[in-house]
Each structure stands twice: as C-alpha cells, then as structure tokens.
Amino acid sequence: MRLQYPTNVRIIEVPCTGKVDIIHLLLAFEQGADGVIVVGCMEGDCHYMAGNLYAKKRVQRVKEILDRVGLGGERVGMYNLSSGMGGRFAEIVREMTNKIMELGPSPIRFAKGTAVRAAGEVAA
Amino acid sequence: MIKAIPKPMEEIINYVQDCTKLLIAGCDGCVTVCEAGGLKEAKVLAAALRLYFTQGGRQAQVDETSLTRQCEKEYLAQLSDRIDQYDAVVSLACGVGIQHLAEIYDKKVVYPGVDTCFLGVNEERGLYSERCQACGRCILAETGGVCPIARCSKRMLNGPCGGSEGGKCEVSKDTPCGWELIYERLKTLGQLDRFETPTVPKDWTTSRDGGPRKIVREDLRI
C-alpha cells in the first residue's frame, strides 16, 4: 500500500491491547512522550474476548489522571481498527500528530529541558 | 476481605503538594484484591504524582513499594531503614494499615491514599458488596448463613419489615432485602420453622458498645 505517515511516531507492538496497562501509558509520558495512542482490534473482535475493552477502560482512566495532574487527557487516545485498515491507521496517526503539534510539547519535556518554549510563550 | 476504593487524585495531591520526597506504600493484602492499594496501584499513583510535580517544574522524588501486610509490625519493619528519607508516606492500605504505619513510625507524616469501605466479597471483578459488620457476636447459625446485621438496612433481628417489596429493600431497588434472602435460604434448608421463634434482642456489648475493641487470646500468648 506504501502508505505514508509521520516518522515521529514510535510503534510498540504488544500481543493484545489488553496487555497495555495504565502504568505503561503513564511511564511513556514520564519519559517524554507528547502523546500516546492505543490501537486495538475492533470491539467485539478481540481474540482474547475483552482485551480491547479493558484497554478502553484503562485509556479512559489515564485521560482522567492526565487531566488531574495537569498534562491534559487529550494527549492520550484509543482507536479500534482491523488488520485490513492500514489506510485508516495512517490517517489516525496523521490526525493525532497534528493534534499534538497544536497542543505543543508535553509539559514534562519543558520541565526536563528537552523542549524549549517559543519566545513570548508562557506555561499553561 | 476489607474493601476500599482509591481516593480522588485531587485529594491526594492536596495532601502532598508541599512534599519533595514521598513514599507510596501499597499493601499486598485485601486492598490488592480489590485493586485499590496494591503494588500496581502504588506504581500508578507514584507515576501520576511524578508527572504532577514535574509538569509544575518541581523536583520531587516519589518512590513506591508494597508491603506484605501493613497491619503487622513485622512487615512494617521492612521500611525502617529508608522511611526517614521521606517527608511523608501515602499509605494505600486499609484504615487499619494506615493507622498501624502511623503508629509504628510515629514521627512520620502518613496520608491515606484510599477510602476504606467495608468487609465484603468480590461478586465479580470491580463489584464488591458488604457481608459483615464485625459486630463481635455471629448469629449466622440462626439466619441460614445470611447476616441480618450486614444485609438488612435496618439491622433488624426479626424481619422483614414493611419496606420489603418484591425481594428488594425500600432503601434501594438495587439492594436485596436481607430478610428475603434469609427466608429463601432457610426455605432451601428446610428450616422455615425458625421463623416461629422470634430472635431475642442481640447482645451488642461485643460491638462498639465499649469503645475500641480488643481481643486477648491467652491461649496464643506467651
């Protein structure tokens, strides 16, 4: 298909999104990720019955945590795709990348010095 | 087992916002089973607090650990060599463990990370319900193994009351009537004649009548 999507995305493969825990998502933000998306199978199609449904709940919990600690829950999201939806995957990655670009770097990166605020920009 | 729920993040942040070195202490006992205060929850809370401090431009150390049981001093002793380095400890144990931690380390500020709710069962993952109020004198032998103290909203000893309708309690349509449960259970056991003898008034001296309770088992003590 030779689909193009932004190169600033790091893909971490897991056997099932049910393997992705809250702590994994929070550690990604601690290590400086500006945004994280969890991409699982279509709801109702989980080989392990409910892995993607568990992931959905956990992503929702991480959104709440990020809102409460000041990072903003919009930096994390979950999408459900089948293996035949490569085009949609590339589209989602572009959408998420654009959204993160609009939000700007994570406050964690400013604090760690791996991102610098533009002249005149003030912390949210 | 003891059932608890995590405290809201805002409340915990409010307690610890001035700290620079913080320990999140989980408990591997009851609160691990109800997924409120085990090692996993301690790690999540610690990560969330690190994010909170870092995004606010604060340098704070937030570590996590989990003890086998915080209600036993032998396990709390495992913190003795490092607890001094922390400004405060957020304990994710039940109210018993939190108090015991504060008692053993009496100069350390200890904050609760969970709200302890009741003694109950796991109906399924994420669904827990009360079964015992630890009144100190068990009458389950007379009530078919269903406790009217914990399961009846009025703690009636001779129920059901007029508020029981269709097997549900008037307090909530989601709450089964404790005495309906007792009736059905006794019917299953063929012991409905139990209803012909009123239950005598309960001896509440073993409950909270005399203030905080204590068990002294001389057969176990040396």
Nearest CA of chain B to the CA of A94: how many Å? 26
Of the CA atoms within 13 Å of residue B193, those in its CB half-sphere come to 2
B130 pLDDT more than 80? yes
- Chain B residue numbers with beta carbons less than 8 Å from the beta carbon of A68 are 9-10, 13, 48, 52
Residue with tokens 């809250």: A22
pLDDT at A124: 54
| Six token digits for residue A98 | 């654009």
The closest CB to that of A69, out of B40, B52, B57, belongs to: B52
User: pLDDT tens across B147-183, in order?
Assistant: 999 999 999 999 999 999 999 999 999 999 999 999 9
Residue with tokens 């700290």: B19
Q: Model-level pTM?
A: 0.94
The closest CB to that of B50, out of A21, A30, A64, belongs to: A30
A50 by Cβ neighbours in 10 Å (0-12 / 13-18 / 19+) ranks as: middle
Tell which of B51, B59, B62, B124 to mutate to test the A interface (max A CBs under 10 Å).
B51
The closest CB to that of B51, out of A22, A69, A123, belongs to: A69
CB of B110 within 8 A of CB of B92? no
B102 pLDDT more than 80? yes
Nearest CA of chain A to the CA of B9: how many Å? 7
* Element spanning B71, H or E: none
**A-B C-beta contacts closer than 8 Å:** 52
pLDDT at A122: 60
pLDDT at A120: 65
ipTM exceeding cut-off 0.90 for this assembly: yes
pLDDT at A113: 85
The closest CB to that of A71, out of B9, B51, B57, belongs to: B51
Tell me the C-alpha distance between A59 and A39, whole Å: 11
Q: Helix, strand, or coil here: B170? A: coil
| Six token digits for residue B186 | 């006794």
User: pLDDT tens across B3-12, in order?
Assistant: 999 999 999 9
User: pLDDT tens across B24-81, in order?
Assistant: 999 999 999 999 999 999 999 999 999 999 999 999 999 999 999 999 999 999 999 9
State the pLDDT confidence band at B208, using cuts at 50, 70 and 90: confident
pLDDT at A116: 80
CB of B159 within 8 A of CB of B182? yes
Interchain CB contact of B9 with A (< 8 Å):
yes
B192 pLDDT more than 60? yes
- Chain B residue numbers with beta carbons less than 8 Å from the beta carbon of A69 are 9, 13, 48-49, 51-52, 55
pLDDT mean by block of 10 residues, chain A; 124 residues: 90 97 97 97 96 98 97 97 95 96 94 79 60
Which pairing describes strands B2-6 and B114-124: parallel, antiparallel, or unpaired? antiparallel
Taking residues B92-118, report their average pLDDT: 98
